[in-house]
Amino acid sequence: AQTVTQSQPEMSVQEAETVTLSCTYDTSESNYYLFWYKQPPSRQMILVIRQEAYKQQNATENRFSVNFQKAAKSFSLKISDSQLGDTAMYFCAFMSYLGGTSYGKLTFGQGTILTVHP
Amino acid sequence: DVKVTQSSRYLVKRTGEKVFLECVQDMDHENMFWYRQDPGLGLRLIYFSYDVKMKEKGDIPEGYSVSREKKERFSLILESASTNQTSMYLCASSLQGYMNEQYFGPGTRLTVT
């Protein structure tokens, strides 16, 4: 079974600065998918960014980018130019590729609470 | 816009009661999921469904059951609620296939006293 570990329960950053959230995972599979989801206070969880394991190029979405290190099984999220609206809990998640039987199941990490200070 | 709704935002039940949590999605998604979210544990999958009347156990199915009679609706049932089932319950849906985004509902905070 896969496991996902987020070792930083809480982090804080000043507005306009850059912050990196860490995520490591454990799997014996060679092909899989990784995600970062954001859960703002009292609001619904939304997808931030996703990465296919067989693609070496790191995914980027505006101010959000990832550092995917497949050999190290590491998938960190970098938020540039942090904004007050980035305050949320962030979850790292893993999805297997099993030739049609994964049904899109996700395994989540424990979450990191990020607070952006003005 | 994809919309996933859950029947209640807050629910208080007594130990031993039968509890129904309902989830409805409006985007014709094949997959639906029920998670519970607890501090320090993240989200853990309880059950999921990939088609009408089809269901599969997740990582923590004990004490729960599910029902999917229609494609848009996925119900989580606590047959006899216990205090250790006090938690936040999140429903999600997604299209069949890989790397597809899961869309989440607002969650139901259930307290069992």
> CATH number for the domain including A30?
2.60.40.10
Q: Which domain holds residue B44?
A: 4-98
CATH of the domain at B76: 2.60.40.10
Residue B27, Ramachandran bin (φ over 0: left; ψ between -120 and 50: alpha; else beta): alpha
Of B56, B90, B94, the CB nearest to A45: B90
The per-residue pLDDT for A90 is 98
Check A103 against B96: CB less than 8 A apart.
yes
Is B36 domain-assigned? yes
Residue of B1, B102, B103 best to disrupt the A interface, most CBs of A under 10 A: B102
Is B50 domain-assigned? yes
pLDDT tens string A30-78: 889 999 999 999 889 999 999 999 888 999 999 999 999 999 999 999 9
Residue of A nearest to B50 (CA): A103
Is B113 domain-assigned? no
Q: What angle do CA A10, A37, B39 make, to 5 degrees?
A: 45
Is B67 domain-assigned? yes
Of A46, A103, A108, the CB nearest to B31: A103
Q: Chain B: nearest CA to A90, how far in angstroms?
A: 10
Residue of B nearest to A9 (CA): B40
pLDDT tens string B71-103: 999 999 999 999 999 999 999 999 887 778 999
pLDDT tens string B9-53: 999 999 999 999 999 999 999 999 999 999 999 999 999 999 998
Round the average pLDDT of chain B to a whole number and report it: 94
The per-residue pLDDT for A31 is 86
Looking at chain A, the whole-number percentage of residues with pLDDT higher than 70 is 96
Instruction: Tell me, yes or no, if B104 comes closer than 8 A to chain A by beta carbon.
Output: yes
Check B56 against A110: CB less than 8 A apart.
no
Q: Please count the structural domains in chain B.
A: 1
Of A44, A102, A108, the CB nearest to B43: A108
Nearest residue to B103 via CA among B94, B111, B95, B112: B94
Q: Please count the structural domains in chain A.
A: 1
Instruction: Tell me, yes or no, if B106 comes closer than 8 A to chain A by beta carbon.
Output: yes
Looking at chain B, the whole-number percentage of residues with pLDDT higher than 70 is 98
Is B106 domain-assigned? no
Residue A85, Ramachandran bin (φ over 0: left; ψ between -120 and 50: alpha; else beta): alpha
| A51-57 contact pairs (CB < 8 A, 24+) | A51/A75, A52/B99, A53/A97, A54/A30
Nearest residue to B45 via CA among B61, B31, B30: B61
pLDDT band of A113, cuts 50, 70, 90: very high
